[in-house]
Structure 1
Amino acid sequence: MISSLVKLGDFEEAEKLYNEWESVSGSGDARVPNILLAAYINGDKMDVAENFYQQIVQKGISPCYTTWELLTWGYLKKQQIEKVLDCFKQAVCSVKKWNPNEKLVREVFNKLEDLGDTEDAEKLLVILRDAGHVSTKVYNSLLRVYAKAGKMPLIVAERMQKDNVGLDEETHKLIKLTSKMRVTEVSSSF
């Protein structure tokens, strides 16, 4: 019912029905509030989504992977990169085995590339590495961020080798391109 009301754009009735469900359910199931959370985020109502998220947590509902992923998408729309990375990390850490949402990974890297944000791109790489999800595609995304920023990443080939990730034609081109740029400092998180 809540989902149908949301699809019809009747948030007021959906919220009433949710509150009624919440008062009698006690299940702590995050899937039901995620319907409203998704609707708020998709409707560009991130402030409402944040308040709703706080309310459900205060009522003892533990966020699940989907909750964190929804918040990641919402913060990505708002370009709040620190919150994007925090929620993304929470999403990945909330499951035993993470099945990567390739579209989400790509979109986060695309936003970081648009911003030329190498520091946060490196943080994203660490999150992905900790989740066991580094690949040539991920490293190429990282290198594109560096290229956009006009910076040279240090020891990329060595890091890729350490992560057992192969270099492809695009990787070689990006390393060659960025090798002519100004040097950046290496973080201890590598």
Structure 2
Amino acid sequence: MADKDGVHRIWKKMKSSFRKMNDAEYTCMISSLVKLGDFEEAEKLYSEWESVSGTGDARVPNILLAAYINGDQMEKAENFYQRIVEKGEVFKKLEELGDTEGVEKLLVVLRNAGHVSTKVYNSLLRAYANAGKMPLIVADRMEKDNVPPDEETHELIKLTSKMCISEVSGSL
């Protein structure tokens, strides 16, 4: 309710009461800070989350990335995206978990920021392969995004084409 001090007070109280915060708590706090326009504190908290969380939950960085994009702060969004890519934590973790929904959501955020690439689509395909699912219309989506497939893309499409069809995502 536009009360930065109250948000910080609650966070400090929670940190003193609990030994370790989980992703949901970081997500809530970062989201609150973003809504209050306190991007500097939100980034600090993201850095803290990055150093203590082993999950690589894409929802946490997506909050900041989406806020930058929605706020038309494209340079900040690009810099933040580069930070995420350098760390590799998000896509790799989603791939390992076969979290196709998470990868699809991250793909939409990156598409909106103008940063889809062959590497991103290959990550999407690896997540589907790990989930044992066949993604729909990937080649068409890549063409629409003006992203060229590479040898790995073709191999992954061939591999996933033998799997069960996944449900159509609303983010296509």
Distance in 2 between residues matched to 1:164 and 1:61, nearest whole Å: 34
Distance in 2 between residues matched to 1:79 and 1:103, nearest whole Å: 13
Distance in 2 between residues matched to 1:96 and 1:84, nearest whole Å: 15
> 2:86 matched to which residue of 1?
103
1:62 paired residue among 38, 49, 58 = 38
Scaled by the length of structure 2, the TM-score of the pair is 0.67
Kindly indicate whether the alpha-carbon contact (under 8 Å) linking 1:134 and 1:165 is maintained by their aligned counterparts in 2.
Answer: yes
> 1:129 matched to which residue of 2?
111
Describe the superposition over 1:32-63 as per-residue Cα deviations: whole angstroms up to 9, x where unpaired: xxxxxxxx9xxx9546x95xx67x95xx7711
1:120 paired residue among 91, 99, 102 = 102
After TM superposition, the structure 1 = structure 2 runs for residues 9-158 of structure 1, keeping only pairs within 5 Å, are: 46=21, 50=26, 57=33, 62-64=38-40, 66-67=43-44, 69-70=46-47, 73=50, 77-90=54-67, 92-93=69-70, 95-97=73-75, 98-99=78-79, 100-101=81-82, 102-104=85-87, 106-158=88-140
Q: Are residues 169 and 137 of structure 1, via their aligned partners in 2, closer, same or farther at CA, if it must alter by over 3 Å?
A: same
Scaled by the length of structure 1, the TM-score of the pair is 0.62
> 1:5 matched to which residue of 2?
none
Kindly indicate whether the alpha-carbon contact (under 8 Å) linking 2:74 and 2:113 is maintained by their aligned counterparts in 1.
Answer: no
Distance in 2 between residues matched to 1:73 and 1:92, nearest whole Å: 21
**Percent sequence identity over aligned pairs:** 49
Report whether the alignment pairs 1:189 with 2:165.
no
The one of the two structures with greater contact order (alpha-carbon pairs below 8 A, sep at least 6) is 2
State the superposition RMSD in angstroms.
Answer: 3.3
The secondary structure found in structure 1 opposite 2:158 is helix
Distance in 1 between residues matched to 2:139 and 2:126, nearest whole Å: 14
Q: Are residues 68 and 78 of structure 1, via their aligned partners in 2, closer, same or farther at CA, if it must alter by over 3 Å?
A: same
Distance in 2 between residues matched to 1:76 and 1:171, nearest whole Å: 30
Describe the superposition over 1:71-93 as per-residue Cα deviations: whole angstroms up to 9, x where unpaired: 66258524544434334433555
- Structure 2 letter corresponding to 1:125: L
Distance in 2 between residues matched to 1:61 and 1:167, nearest whole Å: 39
